[in-house]
Amino acid sequence: MSEIKKVVLAYSGGLDTSVIVRWLQDTYNCEVVTFTADIGQGEEVEPARAKAEALGVKEIYIEDLREEFVRDYVFPMFRANTIYEGEYLLGTSIARPLIAKRLVEIANETGADAISHGATGKGNDQVRFELGAYALKPGVKVIAPWREWDLNSREKLLKYCEERNIPVEMKKGKSPYSMDANLLHISYEGINLEDPWAEAEEDMWRWSVSPEAAPDQPTYVELTYRKGDIVAVDGQELKPHEVLETLNKLAGENGVGRLDIVENRYVGMKSRGCYETPGGTIMLRAHRAIESITLDREVAHLKDSLMPRYAEVIYNGYWWSPEREALQALIDQTQTYVNGTVRLKLYKGNVDVVGRKSDDSLFDEKIATFEEDQGAYNQKDAEGFIKLNALRLRIAAGKGRKL
């Protein structure tokens, strides 16, 4: 273990990572560099500095990565209308490649021998962090304490803190759930949620009111798109992270964005989790709406056929992979004409598309109309089209084949 002289730790300032700082110092007799990222988790990150200093950490990185997170990770993912297993908007998954990238970059800047994280050996995050790190720095050493130590309960962690005089902040009203938050979502696991039959308690949710308690009047919002990304809300130009912050607030106030699912983890087990993704729920509906009038049919269908694979790549931790980059190149190319405005109505948990317009629209009113089209479409052409497409069916039926 003596070859490890310096380790960069993804540090939140909470119980687990505070224990990890001291454990790394004790176990590896090494210097620890802490890295704390603000990706919109809704809590102050600056207090992590004082906690790290109290643990003897000399090199402390605290960074506001909100704009980069949304611009370079969330927005590219939403260009593909990405959902995992038909429901999950990948809020945790999409944050991990950015953190992995910065861990590696800081390791390079500080001359560290290894990186470390607080992900457990049962979850997906260990895979995401480490696949990203290996892709960006092939020879990096990764230390995952949860796979090495025997501190496998909160009681053991607290005892470790007591024995080594590690300060533990006991917040009043702190959620008992295992939670992960960033600008895109907040997740909840554990406690009663480990029973798939048990309904989530109402006071668990942090970002949204219940649909029953939402306003009795709908809220309307208009989103302006440029090459597949939202650039303005109600006509006001905003930076990417400001867009998501604004939509989170609007959606949360209207009871939009709650999800309760059982998902298939990459490591093999099924896991029940609850998620709040208010702004992301609006973004998915709106993006599909603007694509519906601007994308060619076959391009749209091709994107839809590739989306589950793209979602799986992100969920499993392969953001920094050639297959994701290849898929991304195709997806981004399709967004050239995805420009225009979508109008939505938010009401008691629902997001309804009520209008869409674009200078690049492929919707032709003269052709689509049920009224007189002045010869824009010859309905007699449909007869030959149908017969040609039915040819193989007619031949098979004529040979007496049964379906």
Query: How much is the pLDDT for 372?
Result: 85
Same domain (yes/no): 11, 116: yes
Q: Is 121 flagged in the annotation as binding? A: no
Q: Is 321 flagged in the annotation as binding? A: no
Between CA 254 and CA 139 the distance in angstroms is 48
Q: What is the CATH number of the domain that holds 54?
A: 3.40.50.620
Flag whether 286 is in a domain. yes
Mean pLDDT by 10 residues, the chain (403 residues): 87 91 95 97 89 94 98 98 98 97 98 96 95 97 95 88 82 74 96 96 96 98 98 98 98 98 96 97 98 98 98 98 98 98 98 98 90 87 95 95 85
Query: How much is the pLDDT for 173?
Result: 56
Query: How much is the pLDDT for 1?
Result: 46
Pick the catalytic residue from 175, 178, 321, 361. 178
Query: How much is the pLDDT for 374?
Result: 84
Flag whether 325 is in a domain. no
Q: Is 178 a catalytic residue?
A: yes
Same domain (yes/no): 45, 108: yes
Same domain (yes/no): 349, 242: yes
Pick the catalytic residue from 96, 258, 272, 356. 96
Same domain (yes/no): 46, 194: no
Domains identified in the chain, total number = 3
Q: Is 321 a catalytic residue?
A: no
Contact by Cβ (8 Å): 192, 303: no
Contact by Cβ (8 Å): 340, 290: yes
Same domain (yes/no): 252, 199: yes
Q: Is 373 a catalytic residue?
A: no
Q: Is 88 flagged in the annotation as binding? A: yes
Query: How much is the pLDDT for 170?
Result: 59
Nearest to 24 by CA among 167, 166, 180: 166
Q: Would you give the end-to-end CA distance of the chain in angstroms?
A: 67
Whether this prediction's pTM lies above 0.85 is answered by yes
How is residue 316 written in tokens? 């499993």
Pick the catalytic residue from 38, 125, 208, 358. 125
Q: Is 124 flagged in the annotation as binding? A: yes
Q: Is 201 flagged in the annotation as binding? A: no
Structural domain including 372 reads: 368-398
Domain boundary among 136, 163, 190: 163
Same domain (yes/no): 114, 183: no
Flag whether 260 is in a domain. yes
Q: Is 203 a catalytic residue?
A: no
Q: Is 17 flagged in the annotation as binding? A: yes
Same domain (yes/no): 111, 221: no
Flag whether 74 is in a domain. no
Query: How much is the pLDDT for 300?
Result: 98
